[in-house]
């Protein structure tokens, strides 16, 4: 899901070192919207009252769902008018974070017809995440993202998730990773560095969130589909479509009236004329058509060549992509048949089995490129704010690589950089909010 705590105005300005002093490190200046403090009102600081405030929804839900027999002692947060913008289509993370500071790491949010227990305790989060598919389901995340991911493993659960995981994981073997790091990761990173060097020499500010999003789309395009989106050089409609679809999923998670999932013909027809839904549907169409075209092209090549995989670490030298591996793998066909057999006889997958493969690859394309871009953005932001850590990271790269491009084997020796990435994800997880139904009693 799209980051709810973004670096919308994050820009990076690099000042290159003098040509004759290679030991001097580059310096960075950072401008970010998260550093800007909101203007405080000077008059009338009391909170206004209005019928649009969710206070009445909170009170109603409390009376209906939080009974006198509730002995959990979990504090209940009360949404105010100031929180409406963020709760309904804004940055959901912000009010949740505010209430965490006020009520602690565990509190209830009774808003409208739904009653949430919000946790930020690491031990509880670990418990929930490690019990997906057994005690907890993906719940709201799956519900609001199905229009985009279909039955892809990003939101799949239970036996379907297990079958798809078993089909996809073998493609990520060590030999594949070694080849992809050399041919794709390094080459794409070098292209980005070349573009940044030009900006640095010209003293031009750069939106790094945008650059990293372009970089990760190019990486995933080549490593998954053997297709170069070339988004670092040209504008890609796929990036706009991805962000539009993810924003729609985020909006759906906070809609009080989820009209988009109503079953009546009238409601479905209404969605065809609502601008927000039209925009989301067009975005999903762009993404799906792109993935489907790439699958069909690869299928045709594999069938014409009669390619089959016998080696567990098989890599096609001309096309080492995950898609090529899956289509040439008997395991993929076997697991796809298993997925079909798990569905009811009237399920659409019995007619169009390739939809499952499309949804799985779409999960990689959408969820993979946007989340990775966010991690890179926050990591660079945090390093730019800590000069000692930045210098330490640069020194580790110089010591391990000696000026050469990195290999897959080098990753284990870049320990400090891995710690920086892990700390970045701890401070700014992506996505920052997850929603999982409680197991039934």
Alpha helices in 226-310 (DSSP H): 237-252, 265-271, 275-305
pLDDT score of 58 more than 60: no
Chain-centre distance for alpha carbon 24: 36
> What band does 30 get if pLDDT is binned at 50, 70 and 90?
low
Split at pLDDT 50, 70, 90, the class of 427 is confident
Q: Give the residue-averaged pLDDT of 181-193.
A: 95
How big is the chain by its Cα radius of gyration, in Å?
24
290: which DSSP letter?
H
Dump pLDDT digits (tens) for 304-327: 888 777 677 888 888 999 999 888
- Judged against a pLDDT cut of 90, whether residue 303 lies above it is answered with no
> Which tops the pLDDT comparison, 162 or 190?
190
Extended beta strands in 367-425, E state: none
**Top mean-pLDDT range of 61-65, 99-103, 336-340, 350-354:** 99-103
Indicate the range of 3-17, 292-306, 340-354 predicted with least confidence: 3-17
What does the pLDDT read at residue 88? 60
Residue 284: CB atoms within 10 Å: 20
The pLDDT value given to residue 430: 77
Looking at residue 41, its pLDDT comes to 40
Dihedrals φ, ψ of 179, to 5°? -65, -45
Question: How many other C-beta atoms lie within 10 A of the C-beta of residue 37?
Answer: 6
pLDDT at 89: 55
Cα dihedral 250, 256, 262, 265 in deg (nearest 10): -100
Tens of pLDDT, residue by residue over 116-145, are: 788 888 888 888 777 766 677 776 777 788
Q: What integer pLDDT is reported at residue 54 of this predicted model?
A: 47
Which residues make up the CATH 1.10.630.10 domain(s) of the chain? 168-427
Mean pLDDT of 378-387: 95
Superfamily holding 168-427 = Cytochrome P450 (1.10.630.10)
Average pLDDT, the chain: 76
Confidence (pLDDT) at 55: 53
Do 121 and 129 form a contact (C-beta atoms < 8 A)?
Answer: no
Q: What percent of the chain has pLDDT over 70?
A: 68
> Cα angle at 436 between 430 and 439, to 5 degrees?
155
Cα–Cα separations (whole angstroms), residue 305 to 223, 302, 320, 333, 361: 21, 5, 15, 17, 22
The answer to whether residues 218 and 188 touch, using CB atoms and an 8 Å cutoff, is yes
Give me the pLDDT at residue 352, please. 36
What number is the average pLDDT over the span 7-30? 44
Q: What is the pTM of this model?
A: 0.73
pLDDT tens figures, 60-71 = 555 555 555 566
Name the pLDDT band for 86 (thresholds 50, 70, 90).
Answer: low
Least confident of 25-29, 74-78, 240-244: 25-29
**Statement: residue 420 has pLDDT above 90:** yes
Strand 106-111 vs strand 27-31: parallel, antiparallel, or unpaired? unpaired
DSSP letter at 82 equals G
Give 215-266 pLDDT, tens digit per residue: 999 999 999 999 998 888 888 888 889 889 888 887 887 676 777 776 667 6
Quote the distance between the C-alpha of residue 161 and its chain's center: 18
pLDDT score of 49? 37
| DSSP assignment of 355-381 | HHHHHHHHHIIIIIHHHHHHHHHHHHH
Lowest mean pLDDT among 37-51, 96-110, 167-181: 37-51
If one compares 317 and 389, the residue with the highest pLDDT of the two is 389
Q: How far apart are CA 204 and CA 14, in angstroms?
A: 8
Contact status, residue 250 vs residue 94, Cβ threshold 8 Å:
no
Residues 165, 230, 31, 186, CA torsion sign: positive
Beta strands in 63-190 (DSSP E): 76-77, 106-111, 114-119
Rounded Cα distance between 12 and 9, Å, is 10
Q: Per DSSP, what are the bridge partners of residue 107?
A: 118
Name the band, by pLDDT with cuts 50, 70 and 90, for residue 377. Answer: very high
């Amino acid at each position: 899901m799209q980051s709810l705590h973004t670096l919308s105005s994050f820009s990076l300005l690099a000042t290159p070192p003098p040509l004759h002093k290679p030991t001097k490190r580059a310096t960075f200046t950072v401008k970010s919207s998260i550093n800007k403090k909101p203007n405080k009102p000077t008059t009338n600081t009391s909170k206004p009252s209005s019928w649009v405030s969710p206070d009445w929804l909170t009170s109603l839900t409390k009376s209906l769902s939080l009974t006198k027999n509730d002995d959990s002692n979990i504090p209940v947060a009360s949404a105010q008018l100031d929180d409406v913008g963020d709760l309904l289509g804004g940055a959901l993370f912000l009010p949740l974070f505010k209430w965490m500071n006020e009520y602690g790491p565990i509190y209830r949010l009774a808003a409208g017809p739904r009653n949430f227990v919000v946790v930020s305790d690491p031990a509880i989060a670990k418990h929930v995440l490690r019990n997906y598919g057994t005690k907890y389901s993906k719940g709201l995340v799956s519900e609001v993202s199905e229009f985009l991911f279909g039955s892809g493993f990003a939101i799949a659960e239970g036996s379907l998730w297990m079958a798809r995981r078993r089909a996809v994981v073998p493609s990520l073997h060590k030999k594949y990773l070694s080849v992809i790091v050399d041919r794709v990761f390094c080459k794409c990173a070098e292209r980005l560095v070349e573009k940044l060097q030009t900006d640095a020499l010209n003293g031009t500010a750069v939106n790094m969130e945008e650059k990293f999003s372009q970089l990760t789309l190019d990486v995933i395009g080549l490593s998954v589909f053997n297709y170069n989106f070339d988004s670092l050089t040209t504008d890609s409609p796929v990036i706009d479509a991805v962000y539009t679809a993810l924003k729609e999923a985020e909006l759906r998670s906070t809609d009080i009236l989820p009209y988009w999932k109503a079953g009546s013909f009238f409601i479905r027809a209404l969605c065809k004329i609502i601008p927000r839904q039209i925009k989301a549907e067009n975005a999903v169409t762009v993404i799906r058509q792109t993935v489907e075209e790439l699958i069909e092209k690869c299928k045709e090549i594999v069938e014409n060549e009669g390619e089959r995989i016998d080696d567990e670490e098989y890599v096609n030298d001309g096309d080492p992509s995950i898609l090529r591996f899956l289509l040439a793998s008997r395991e993929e066909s076997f697991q796809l048949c298993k997925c079909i057999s798990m569905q009811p006889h009237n399920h659409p997958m019995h007619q169009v089995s390739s939809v499952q493969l499309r949804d799985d690859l779409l999960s990689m394309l959408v969820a993979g490129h946007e989340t990775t871009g966010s991690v890179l953005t926050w990591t660079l932001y945090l390093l730019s704010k800590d000069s000692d850590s930045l210098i330490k990271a640069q020194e580790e790269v110089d010591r391990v690589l000696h000026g050469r491009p990195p290999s897959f084997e080098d990753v284990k020796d870049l320990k400090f950089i891995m710690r920086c990435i892990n700390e970045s994800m701890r401070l700014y997880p992506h996505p920052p909010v997850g929603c999982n139904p409680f197991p039934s009693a």
